[in-house]
Structure 1
Amino acid sequence: MKFKKLILAIGIGLSMMMAGCGTDSKDSGNSSESREIQVIKDRGVLKVGVKVDVPKFGYKNASTGEIEGFEVDLSKQVAKKIFGEENKIELQGVTAKTRGPLLDNGEVDMVAATFTITEERKKSYNFSDTYLKDGVGLLVKKSLGASSLKDLDGKTVGVAQSSTTKVALEDEANKQGVKLKFSEFGSYPEIKAALDSSRVDCFAVDASILNGYVDDSTVILDDRYNPQEYGIASKKENTELAKLINEVVNDMKISGEMDKLIQKWEIK
């Protein structure tokens, strides 16, 4: 009888231990899944890398000193999803060259900065579904008299460092038998200044970005090359943040809020 009682007691003890282990495992899993979001909540702000030199997307308003634009408003909706209010956001200016390293270093939680989704980049970062699609355009002086890429044969094209524009145009130029020279710059205003001073013959980047730099002396040519898809990027290991960001993007697309933002900022 005593032996049977001993066996029963051991069995109950083991059952309780297993039940306890199961509960701990489950709690640990939930904690692990939400940890990256909790870190942001504990900090009190969502850190976002945005452009500050792209009118209508991310641009520092000289009058107010504030960074504003389509991608800024989009990022605020991610902050609202996390905190319940959109102003708990800290913006940091990035360029095509710096946005990846800043994300890698953890200085920003996500990047919404006309970041083109490519298969190569997806190896390093999580990307949300596409929120905008565009193509590479060509901005030239009207005095050049150019109407197509072929008219730029032998000319110098200004592009941003670390952008996909140069490769896209090289591919297209090879198809058309056109020879191009390239000059790389750290920011879009630098490329526009180079165009104005005739140091380059063309300013090339996605057409929606070029629309912010057109003036009375310049024109965007009609052709578009290599369709670009923009997504919000986050660190590869931050899967829960990536999931939350994607929910925001898709909810806005389904509800029509994304189209309203595009219209608000007159994105072409």
Structure 2
Amino acid sequence: MKKLMIAAILITTLLLTSGCAADKSDKLKVGVKIDVPGFGYQNPETGQVEGFEVDIARELAGRIKGSPDALSITGVNVTTRGAMLDNGALDAVLATFTITEARKKSYHFSDPYYTDYLGILVKKDDGIHSFEALDGKTIGVAQSATTKDKLEELSQKEGISLRFNEYATYPEIKIALVSGRVDAFSVDRSILAGYADDTTMLLDDRFGAQNYGVATALSNEPMTKAVNSAISDMLTDGTIDKLQEKWHLTGGQDNE
């Protein structure tokens, strides 16, 4: 089943849902992941994109456009989400987008709506049980993500050496792990939980907090203000907490 799910995601590049035939000017155009179970994931049985961030997008559409159905969703990954904000194809991005000082120079971010931690997924039969045991090993990471930099910084502190292979999508990294092209798969723990199976395990190690925010273009101040106001209200009125509970998300603490 896991292989079928991964294959379904790999053949999907851009997905438009929620009445995409209508005039997009009447809709909130949001980019979400389609390969992260629990956050933004294309259900292989229904073909629909579902998850925590998709539900937040619907709430935003309701509060900004007047209806949760006034939403146009586009599937994005770490290499396309920023570019589609830059060219105006999207109004906002909810795609496990970690807030960093460097990224704030390119995009506006809302208050954090979720906090996770980096983790490591390995094969059970490889005998790797700690971060230190990865010395000399190859780690699979996503292109344009913060993971590689953080792991390099940590490896220098621990006095170990790591190699990295970068991939455009998470399913590609999981396939690389299963096939032995990488020794570990690293990204945020809540994301890794969706790719764990009977042959793999999440190490106990947790690294630096990853705060997710809704990204908007620096040039679109009205949208930035509307999104930031809505997210602030959703944090205050408990909507974010309820959606997080709905999708059984715990900030990477015990998702596994």
**TM-score band (shorter)?**
0.7 to 0.9
Whole-angstrom CA distance in 1 between matches of 2:210 and 2:24: 35
Whole-angstrom CA distance in 2 between matches of 1:42 and 1:181: 43
Which structure 2 residue ranges, 5 or more long, are not aligned? 1-22, 251-256
Whole-angstrom CA distance in 2 between matches of 1:235 and 1:83: 18
Structure 1 runs of 4+ with >6 Å offset: none
**3-state SS of paired residue (2:225):** helix
Which structure 1 residue ranges, 5 or more long, are not aligned? 1-40
Give the number of equivalent residue pairs.
228
Paired AA for residue 38 in structure 2? K
Assess if the C-alpha contact under 8 Å between 2:64 and 2:227 holds in 1: no
Shift of 1:42: 8.0
Whole-angstrom CA distance in 2 between matches of 1:198 and 1:160: 17
- TM-score under structure 2 normalisation? 0.87
Whole-angstrom CA distance in 2 between matches of 1:202 and 1:129: 31
Shift of 1:83: 2.1
Whole-angstrom CA distance in 1 between matches of 2:82 and 2:25: 22
Whole-angstrom CA distance in 1 between matches of 2:91 and 2:233: 20
Task: Specify which of 130, 133, 153 is matched with residue 171 of structure 1.
Answer: 153
Change in Cα spacing, 1:42 to 1:147, as seen in structure 2 (3 Å) is closer
Change in Cα spacing, 1:82 to 1:148, as seen in structure 2 (3 Å) is same
Deviations 1:18-47 (A, max 9, x none): xxxxxxxxxxxxxxxxxxxxxxx9811111
- TM-score under structure 1 normalisation? 0.83
Q: Percent identity?
A: 53
**3-state SS of paired residue (1:120):** helix
Instruction: Confirm whether residue 108 of structure 1 aligns to residue 90 of structure 2.
Output: yes
Q: Match of 1:127?
A: 109
Whole-angstrom CA distance in 2 between matches of 1:244 and 1:147: 45
1:215-234 map, 5 Å: 215-234=197-216
Instruction: Confirm whether residue 73 of structure 1 aligns to residue 73 of structure 2.
Output: no
Shift of 1:248: 1.6
Query: Which structure has greater helix proportion?
Result: 1
**3-state SS of paired residue (2:73):** strand
Whole-angstrom CA distance in 1 between matches of 2:115 and 2:129: 23
Instruction: Confirm whether residue 238 of structure 1 aligns to residue 220 of structure 2.
Output: yes
Shift of 1:242: 1.2
Shift of 1:204: 0.1
Whole-angstrom CA distance in 1 between matches of 2:232 and 2:132: 39
Task: Specify which of 190, 194, 201 is matched with residue 172 of structure 2.
Answer: 190
Paired AA for residue 132 in structure 1? Y
Whole-angstrom CA distance in 1 between matches of 2:39 and 2:86: 23
Q: Match of 1:25?
A: none
